[in-house]
Amino acid sequence: MKVKQAIVKLTGASPYSQSKMYVAAKEGRETHDAFEKRTWAERAHYDSDGEIYIPALQLKRALEDAAKYLSMKIPGKGQQTYSKNFRAAITVNDNIPLGVSRGDLALNGPHCDAVFGSSTGTTGSGSRVQKYFPLVTEWSGTTTIEIYDESIDKKVLDEHLKAAGLLIGIGRWRPQNGGYYGRFVAQIVEWKTVEY
């Protein structure tokens, strides 16, 4: 089977923040604020060396959402758009390491985003608390995208990468959700065909 492979470089156009779900218990009579300050770094994704990375699935989902947003029609297929093709026929192979380690995270440092927000995570829910999120202000990285559908050529992928980067975004408080973190510019640095 012949598969198209794109090596893609992402460069952050805005800071990138994470809000991974984690489970931790309060210690004794620990207050909410003390608990947040002790555990907030658990909201980041780490590789085995303790480096923060962007999960490959975030880029895959951003491309799927870009396909829905753009609703580009496939030539020769009537009203059919690329939405289901991007969902079923692409994979993003590699997580993207960001060069920031767990040890770089500090409450008063550049990699901490302090937010006074909803205690439940629902906007307008009433009660508000202080929360802290991992933040990477400048970032870039490379990953490999594999395409299993002939209708998705280099130009189509490039258009969807542009939309994913500027209109959808990745991570917490991305443009798709009304925020401004997680925007990126994507460049296809290599395009080739591999055989499995």
pLDDT at 1: 87
As a whole number, mean pLDDT of residues 113-130 equals: 79
Q: Is the pLDDT of residue 124 over 90?
A: no
Domain count, the chain: 1
**By residue range, what is the domain housing residue 80?**
2-195
pLDDT at 70: 98
150-182, pLDDT tens digit by residue? Answer: 999 999 999 999 999 999 999 999 999 999 999
Residue 196 confidence class, pLDDT cut points 50, 70, 90: confident
Which burial class, exposed, middle or buried, applies to 126 when counting CB atoms under 10 A from its CB (0-12, 13-18, 19+)?
exposed
pLDDT averaged over every residue in the chain = 95
As a whole number, mean pLDDT of residues 66-86 equals: 97
pLDDT at 121: 65
Please tell me the distance from the alpha carbon of residue 128 to that of residue 52, in angstroms, as a whole number: 28
Pairing assessment for the beta strands 2-12 and 184-195 based on DSSP bridges: antiparallel
Cross-strand bridge partners of residue 91: 146
Please tell me the distance from the alpha carbon of residue 114 to that of residue 85, in angstroms, as a whole number: 39
Q: Within a 10 A sphere around the Cβ of 35, how many other Cβ atoms?
A: 14
pLDDT at 7: 98
Cβ atoms of 171 and 53 within 8 Å: the answer is: no
As a whole number, mean pLDDT of residues 33-57 equals: 96
pTM: 0.93
Q: Is the pLDDT of residue 122 over 90?
A: no
Q: Is the pLDDT of residue 108 over 90?
A: no
As a whole number, mean pLDDT of residues 108-128 equals: 81
12-23, pLDDT tens digit by residue? Answer: 999 999 999 999
Instruction: Report which of residues 131 and 118 the model is more confident about.
Output: 131
Which burial class, exposed, middle or buried, applies to 191 when counting CB atoms under 10 A from its CB (0-12, 13-18, 19+)?
middle
For a pLDDT cut of 70, what percent of the chain falls above it?
A: 96
Cβ atoms of 142 and 9 within 8 Å: the answer is: yes
pLDDT at 127: 81
Q: What is the CA radius of gyration of the chain?
A: 19
As a whole number, mean pLDDT of residues 97-111 equals: 93
Side-chain half-sphere CA neighbours of 181 within 13 A? 17
